[in-house]
């Protein structure tokens, strides 16, 4: 699109946003031309309120397709919202992919409902909705299938918007959908957004590969240090006050000892693995929030090569990080309960040995001293930040309010306290409503910490808190804005993922107690000498319905809102939503967070208030501690990530055809349409070339609809093969009329073998296809052999150890079944292409019908038989796949089979030997024989038991049946 991109405004009041007109439409009416505005004119409208850098983002993306990478907190949501408003028109079809649920809800709530369409459940309904135009937030799996089945008018799509673009790799469904779209639509746009610059630093040429997969040529970079961003935010900066809260001597000592142990383990892991790149394993990274992701990305592919000591150290580094977090942020009782868990004999045996160090002993002793005094009485120390928070709420903020607005000010102060997670939010709510003494006693009972005798001072505090506490609600209902999260689906994790997983059963259990938002108010006037342990706050029940405005209207007391940085329901937009609703006078950053700080900056810049009316931000931070270091590390990593992206942009070479608007972009993919004519013209004459051109067909593979959750269909299409999505009951991929493939990942293979599902699938494949194939596919990021949890050697469970035996039984049971081991989906796609060379193309209708009730005869079979009888006969001696069909056609029934003589059976099975084997199994009583004497005595005993000549029970039954018919 050129710089003079034009959009059309509507004259209806409820639809202020203009709609773009197609560039090819040159027959516009005069009155329509009069309503055209440029993108610059659109930004000058009163209802468009964007900051200067957001306006520049808007202009960049309207004028050209591209990838926008913004710093965290410099939200692109408003920019994208106005782009969506511009294209809100029934004449446009705009698709938004790769969005989270909370993002989808946010945009839908801000757009005109008549232009936003829900994705229909049925294919017919979706076809109708596509033709209505408007905006659709659609899952990529549905979009890919609809594109392949041509249910969606691809040529009529105005454009596609991709969110979280850093996750787009060439094998993902989003890249598949964009490739299908761009192959048949050369005029529509693609605009991509990302707010994770650090993700682009992982891997080789990540940013170039992402842009290639997105079919964009422009890269727009917006770090916090961008001159336009600084110019927009700097004049409206809020007043910030940094309060350095000192840690207690015991907490400082515990932190020092934990860092010493971490430093020792880091040096140890590097000493053991000198040949492995351990650059990311540093003490600085160990205390950051994303340490487990860094470690997993670095060690995942070589996990099987590491010895047991290294694996124990990795697990212990994660434990030490949790101990550090607990010591810094949780109360003394909860921290002591966690540390005490690692002083057991069982853990001492299974760890890397850090519990035997002197520093570990000091950690255990100091943690206990934080809870019990010298006389072993229960007297836990409060969190260092509690006292500072109480002073802010009861002294500093009321005093500042009266100074700024006068003693007779009417508006009560509104305070927003921001915490890092729901646990910290709950802790502060309990502290403010109950007092520190009662809360710590409650925590001791919950964590089963022995209370014993209370110290005199602690007993006095707890009684005083109980007396001062007013009638507050004891039970807090679960708020609708924080629904209890459903338990995650059970999934098989590899050993490293299990080690580094941050959630455990206890955390999930406690998560049910925690909320993400609370609203409190003062219940009484603060006394002259406030007791920090006395409770002067209560919960406002209106927040249970998340109605902040109702809560503010109903209560004229000071309002205190506790909020996490982001919530499960609204993501990072939760803070912006709360700021707009609450309009706080004061913000207390109980924990530090880069994104939240920038969101506060942007919010203040939007309000454009004079300095006296701007909100005041207090930072409660432990200076020169792990907390401050973690914050600085996150800033440094983001800055270095942007510097790398900027340097890459200055050097990258982008081909002209990368936008996919010419066919050159798809020349690199193998094209079967181009090969035959070239060969025909070089080897033969024009007449032969015409004949070959008429006969050539693009190879196609039938893919089960359920397989579109994997990467393989995308990679198959990328090699130039046609993908036909069909719901099939037998197999996952149909390569030829005779070749059927069942694909299994390693975890799926183990589950299918243990449950017996794979046996039934092989039965169906062998019955209907001449060449059934079991494809065992490995993860491309893992070694190409069974390892880790799936290692078939020592230290494995009995369930995993017999997988090979079950595979051997499977091949013995199904002689025609072929096993293919593939190292990655890329290798599988190449393998499928080679297997199809020179073969017939499969029929989608036949493949869909096989296995269903209305299915016709299978290839190679003239008739259909009872499957259970067919399988039973194959297990009898003398019966095999070559004679079973003749036996079923001429044998009649099992009763008739018992009446046939040995000669008749031999004629039926076309073999004297097979006839004798089958006759013996049907008519001779087979008793266990240890030797000839034992066998004779057994026969004699049997004859006495059943009567003379009656040892052949089958013959007796047959004669009785014969007499009954006469």
Residues 741 and 744: their CA atoms lie apart, in Å, by 10
Look at residues 279, 232, 226 and name the one whose alpha carbon lies nearest to residue 643: 226
**pLDDT value for 145:** 93
Candidate from 257-266, 788-797, 849-858 with smallest mean pLDDT? 788-797
Residue 364 predicted with pLDDT over 70: yes
Q: Indicate the angle between helix axes 902-909 and 912-923, nearest 10 degrees.
A: 130
Most confident of 711-715, 785-789, 864-868: 711-715
**pLDDT value for 870:** 76
**pLDDT value for 5:** 41
**pLDDT value for 692:** 43
* Backbone Cα Rg of the chain: 36
pLDDT band at 103 (very low <50, low <70, confident <90, very high): very high
pLDDT tens-digit map of 747-774: 889 888 888 889 999 998 988 899 999 9
**pLDDT value for 945:** 52
Which H helix or E strand runs over 601?
A: helix 594-607
Residue 385 predicted with pLDDT over 70: yes
**pLDDT value for 683:** 42
Look at residues 156, 148, 107, 111 and name the one whose alpha carbon lies nearest to residue 130: 156
Candidate from 159-168, 465-474, 780-789 with smallest mean pLDDT? 465-474
Mean pLDDT across 776-782: 82
At a CB cut-off of 8 Å and minimum separation 6, what does 263 contact?
283
Domains 700-783+799-849 and 867-923 share a fold: no
Residues 549 and 577: their CA atoms lie apart, in Å, by 12
pLDDT band at 842 (very low <50, low <70, confident <90, very high): very high
Greatest CA span in the chain, whole angstroms? 119
Look at residues 243, 666, 950, 543 and name the one whose alpha carbon lies nearest to residue 958: 950
Residues 206 and 201: their CA atoms lie apart, in Å, by 7
pLDDT tens-digit map of 610-636: 998 899 999 999 988 888 988 999 999
Q: Is the dihedral of CA 648, 649, 651, 653 positive or negative?
A: positive
**pLDDT value for 18:** 43
Most confident of 393-402, 587-596, 748-757: 587-596
Report the chain's mean pLDDT, rounded to a whole number.
Answer: 79
Locate the DSSP E strands across 746-803: 771-777
User: Residue 439 CB: number of other CB atoms within 10 A?
Assistant: 27
pLDDT tens-digit map of 651-667: 999 999 899 888 777 76
Residue 886 or residue 144, greater confidence: 144
Q: Which 3 state secondary structure label does DSSP give 668?
A: coil
Q: Which 3 state secondary structure label does DSSP give 431?
A: helix
What CATH number was assigned to the domain covering residues 867-923?
A: 1.10.150.20
> Could you tell me the two tokens for 872?
């039973």
At a CB cut-off of 8 Å and minimum separation 6, what does 343 contact?
355, 364
Q: What percent of the chain has pLDDT over 90?
A: 44
Which H helix or E strand runs over 682?
A: helix 672-683
Domain boundaries in the chain?
30-234, 243-370, 407-435+450-463+511-524+532-622, 700-783+799-849, 867-923
**pLDDT value for 554:** 54
Residues 603 and 335: their CA atoms lie apart, in Å, by 36
User: Residue 354 CB: number of other CB atoms within 10 A?
Assistant: 24
At a CB cut-off of 8 Å and minimum separation 6, what does 689 contact?
677, 680, 681
Inter-residue contact 542 to 550 (CB < 8 Å): yes
Q: Which 3 state secondary structure label does DSSP give 662?
A: coil
Most confident of 294-303, 499-508, 585-594, 866-875: 585-594
**pLDDT value for 520:** 82
User: Residue 181 CB: number of other CB atoms within 10 A?
Assistant: 21
Tell the residue number behind the tokens 């209505």, with chain if given. 132
**pLDDT value for 387:** 92
Taking CA atoms, 288 is separated from 129, 269, 425, 627, in Å, by 47, 18, 21, 9
User: Residue 623 CB: number of other CB atoms within 10 A?
Assistant: 12
**pLDDT value for 890:** 81
Candidate from 22-26, 130-134, 245-249, 808-812 with smallest mean pLDDT? 22-26
pLDDT band at 519 (very low <50, low <70, confident <90, very high): confident
Inter-residue contact 20 to 86 (CB < 8 Å): yes
Mean pLDDT across 882-887: 80
Residue 905 or residue 35, greater confidence: 905
DSSP 654: -
> Could you tell me the two tokens for 460?
């006095």
Residue 481 predicted with pLDDT over 50: no
pLDDT band at 703 (very low <50, low <70, confident <90, very high): very high
**pLDDT value for 855:** 43
Q: Which 3 state secondary structure label does DSSP give 134?
A: strand
pLDDT band at 464 (very low <50, low <70, confident <90, very high): low
**pLDDT value for 522:** 64
pLDDT tens-digit map of 813-834: 898 999 999 999 999 999 999 9
Mean pLDDT across 545-551: 54
**pLDDT value for 888:** 82
Taking CA atoms, 670 is separated from 183, 295, 666, 719, 736, in Å, by 14, 37, 8, 5, 20
Inter-residue contact 620 to 588 (CB < 8 Å): yes
Inter-residue contact 696 to 672 (CB < 8 Å): yes
Residue 690 predicted with pLDDT over 80: no
Candidate from 120-124, 661-665, 807-811 with smallest mean pLDDT? 661-665
Give me the half-sphere count of Cα atoms (radius 13 Å) on the Cβ side of residue 661: 12
Q: Indicate the angle between helix axes 101-110 and 573-582, nearest 10 degrees.
A: 40
204: alpha, beta or left? (left if phi > 0; alpha if psi -120 to 50): beta
At a CB cut-off of 8 Å and minimum separation 6, what does 535 contact?
432, 433, 434, 435, 465, 468, 469, 470, 472
Candidate from 289-293, 494-498, 509-513 with smallest mean pLDDT? 494-498
Q: Which fold has domain 407-435+450-463+511-524+532-622?
A: Rossmann fold (3.40.50)
Looking at 89-240, list the stretches that DSSP marks H as alpha helix, in order from N- to C-terminal side: 101-110, 123-131, 140-148, 173-184, 206-214, 227-233
**pLDDT value for 915:** 87
Look at residues 836, 822, 832, 811 and name the one whose alpha carbon lies nearest to residue 744: 822
Residues 128 and 321: their CA atoms lie apart, in Å, by 54
Residue 179 or residue 791, greater confidence: 179
DSSP 392: I
Cα separation of the two ends of the chain: 93
Residues 539 and 588: their CA atoms lie apart, in Å, by 18
Q: What percent of the chain has pLDDT over 70?
A: 75
Inter-residue contact 766 to 814 (CB < 8 Å): yes
CA–centroid distance for 144 within its chain? 19
Q: Which 3 state secondary structure label does DSSP give 736?
A: strand
DSSP 531: -
**pLDDT value for 791:** 42
Taking CA atoms, 672 is separated from 93, 149, 466, 713, in Å, by 32, 20, 81, 18
Residue 361 predicted with pLDDT over 50: yes
Candidate from 139-153, 288-302, 436-450, 541-555 with smallest mean pLDDT? 541-555
CATH class of 30-234: alpha beta
Residue 947 predicted with pLDDT over 60: no
**pLDDT value for 186:** 92
Taking CA atoms, 56 is separated from 47, 68, 686, in Å, by 17, 11, 57
Candidate from 98-112, 404-418, 539-553, 886-900 with smallest mean pLDDT? 539-553
pLDDT band at 26 (very low <50, low <70, confident <90, very high): very low
Residues 754 and 147: their CA atoms lie apart, in Å, by 37
pLDDT band at 38 (very low <50, low <70, confident <90, very high): confident
> Could you tell me the two tokens for 948?
């003379």
**pLDDT value for 776:** 93
The C-alpha angle with vertex 588 and arms to 587 and 593, in degrees rounded to 5, equals: 100
At a CB cut-off of 8 Å and minimum separation 6, what does 460 contact?
none
Which H helix or E strand runs over 193?
A: strand 189-194
Read off φ and ψ for residue 316, nearest 5 degrees.
Answer: -70, -35
Taking CA atoms, 831 is separated from 225, 824, 843, 847, in Å, by 49, 11, 20, 21
Quick one: 182 exposed, middle or buried, by C-beta within 10 A (0-12, 13-18, 19+)? buried
Residues 760 and 764: their CA atoms lie apart, in Å, by 6
Q: What residues pair up with 736 in beta bridges, in sequence order?
A: 739
pLDDT tens-digit map of 255-286: 999 999 999 998 998 898 887 777 778 888 78
What CATH number was assigned to the domain covering residues 700-783+799-849?
A: 3.40.50.10130
pLDDT tens-digit map of 907-926: 888 888 888 888 888 888 66
Residues 846 and 724: their CA atoms lie apart, in Å, by 13
Residues 785 and 541: their CA atoms lie apart, in Å, by 58
Candidate from 200-214, 304-318, 682-696, 922-936 with smallest mean pLDDT? 682-696
Inter-residue contact 649 to 221 (CB < 8 Å): yes
Residue 123 predicted with pLDDT over 70: yes
Q: Are strands 116-117 and 134-137 parallel, antiparallel or unpaired?
A: parallel
């Amino acid at each position: 699109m050129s710089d003079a991109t034009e959009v059309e405004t509507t004259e209806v009041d409820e639809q202020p946003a203009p709609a773009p007109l197609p560039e090819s439409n040159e027959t516009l009416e005069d009155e329509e031309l009069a309503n055209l505005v440029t993108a610059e004119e659109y930004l000058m409208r009163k209802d468009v309120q964007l900051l200067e850098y957001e306006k520049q983002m808007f202009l960049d993306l309207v004028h050209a397709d591209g990838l926008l990478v913004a710093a965290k907190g410099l939200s692109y949501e408003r920019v994208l919202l106005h782009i969506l408003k511009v294209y809100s028109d029934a004449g446009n079809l705009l698709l938004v992919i790769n969005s989270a649920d909370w993002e989808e809800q946010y945009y839908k709530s801000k757009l005109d409902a008549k232009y936003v369409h829900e994705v229909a459940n049925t294919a017919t309904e979706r076809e109708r909705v596509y033709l209505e135009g408007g905006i659709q937030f659609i899952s990529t799996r549905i979009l890919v299938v609809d594109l392949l089945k041509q249910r969606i008018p691809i040529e009529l799509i105005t454009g596609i918007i991709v969110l979280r673009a850093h996750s787009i790799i060439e094998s993902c469904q989003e890249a598949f959908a964009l490739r299908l779209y761009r192959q048949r639509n050369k005029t529509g746009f693609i605009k991509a957004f990302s707010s994770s610059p650090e993700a682009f630093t992982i891997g080789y040429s990540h940013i170039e590969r992402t842009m290639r997969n997105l079919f964009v040529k422009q890269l727009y970079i917006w770090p916090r240090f961008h001159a336009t961003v600084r110019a927009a935010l700097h004049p409206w900066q809020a007043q910030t006050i940094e309060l350095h809260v000192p840690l207690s001597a015991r907490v400082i000592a515990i932190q020092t000892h934990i860092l010493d142990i971490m430093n020792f383990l880091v040096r140890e892991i590097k000493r053991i693995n000198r040949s492995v790149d351990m650059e990311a394993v540093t003490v600085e990274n160990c205390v950051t929030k994303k340490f487990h992701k860094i470690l997993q990305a670095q060690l995942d592919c070589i996990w099987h090569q590491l010895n047991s000591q290294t694996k124990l150290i990795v697990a212990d580094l994660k434990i030490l990080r949790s101990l550090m977090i607990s010591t810094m942020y949780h109360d003394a009782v909860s921290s002591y309960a966690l540390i005490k868990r690692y002083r057991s004999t069982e853990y001492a045996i299974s760890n890397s040995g850090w519990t035997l160090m002197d520093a570990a002993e000091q950690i255990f002793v100091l943690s206990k001293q934080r809870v019990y005094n010298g006389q072993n009485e229960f007297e836990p120390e409060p969190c260092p930040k509690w006292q500072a928070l109480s002073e802010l709420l009861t002294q500093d903020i009321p005093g500042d309010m009266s100074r700024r607005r006068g003693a007779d000010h009417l508006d009560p102060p509104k305070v927003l306290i921001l915490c890092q997670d729901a646990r910290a939010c709950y802790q502060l709510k309990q502290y403010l409503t109950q007092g520190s003494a009662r809360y710590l006693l409650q925590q001791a009972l919950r964590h089963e910490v022995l209370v014993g005798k209370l110290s005199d001072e602690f007993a006095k505090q707890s009684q005083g808190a109980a007396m001062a506490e007013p009638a507050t609600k004891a039970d807090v209902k679960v708020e609708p804005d924080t629904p209890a999260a459903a338990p995650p689906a059970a999934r098989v994790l590899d050993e490293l993922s299990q080690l580094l997983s941050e959630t455990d059963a206890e955390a999930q259990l406690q998560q049910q107690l925690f909320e993400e938002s609370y609203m409190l108010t003062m219940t009484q006037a603060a006394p002259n000498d406030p007791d920090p342990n006395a409770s002067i706050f209560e919960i406002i029940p209106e927040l249970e319905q998340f109605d902040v405005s109702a809560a503010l209207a109903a209560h004229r007391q000071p309002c205190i809102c506790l909020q996490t940085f982001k919530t499960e329901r609204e993501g990072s937009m939760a803070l912006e939503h709360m700021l707009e609703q609450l309009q706080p006078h004061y913000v207390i950053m109980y924990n530090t967070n880069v994104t939240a700080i920038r969101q506060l900056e942007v919010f203040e810049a939007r309000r454009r208030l004079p300095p006296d009316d701007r909100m005041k931000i207090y930072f409660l931070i432990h200076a020169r501690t792990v907390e401050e270091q973690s914050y600085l590390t996150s800033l440094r990593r983001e800055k270095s990530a942007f510097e790398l992206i900027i340097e890459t942009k200055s050097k990258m070479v982008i081909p002209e055809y990368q936008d996919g608007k010419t066919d050159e972009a798809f020349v690199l993919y193998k094209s079967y349409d181009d090969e035959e004519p070239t060969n025909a013209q070089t080897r033969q004459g024009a007449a032969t070339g015409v004949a070959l051109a008429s006969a050539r067909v693009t190879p196609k593979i039938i893919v089960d609809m359920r397989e579109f959750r994997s990467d393989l269909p995308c990679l198959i299409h990328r090699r130039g093969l046609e993908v036909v999505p069909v719901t099939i009951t037998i197999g996952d991929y149909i390569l030829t009329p005779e070749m059927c493939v069942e694909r299994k990942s390693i975890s799926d293979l183990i589950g299918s073998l243990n449950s017996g599902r794979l046996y039934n699938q092989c039965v169906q494949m062998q019955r209907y296809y001449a060449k059934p194939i079991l494809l065992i596919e490995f993860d491309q990021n893992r070694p190409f052999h069974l390892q880790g949890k799936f290692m078939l050697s020592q230290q494995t469970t009995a369930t995993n150890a017999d997988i090979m035996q079950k595979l051997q039984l499977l091949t013995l049971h199904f002689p025609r079944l072929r096993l293919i081991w593939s190292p990655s989906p890329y290798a599988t796609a190449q393998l499928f292409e080679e297997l199809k060379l020179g073969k017939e193309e499969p029929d989608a209708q036949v493949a869909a019908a096989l296995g269903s009730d209305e299915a016709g005869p299978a290839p190679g079979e003239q008739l259909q038989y009872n499957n259970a009888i067919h399988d039973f006969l194959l297990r009898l001696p003398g019966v095999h796949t070559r004679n079973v069909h003749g036996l079923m056609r001429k044998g009649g029934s099992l009763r008739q089979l018992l009446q046939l003589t040995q000669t008749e059976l031999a004629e039926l099975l076309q073999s004297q030997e097979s006839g004798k084997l089958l006759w013996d199994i049907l008519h001779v009583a087979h008793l266990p024989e240890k030797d000839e004497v034992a066998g004779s005595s057994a026969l004699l005993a049997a004859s006495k038991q059943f009567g003379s000549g009656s040892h052949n029970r089958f013959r007796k039954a047959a004669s009785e049946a014969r007499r009954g018919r006469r």
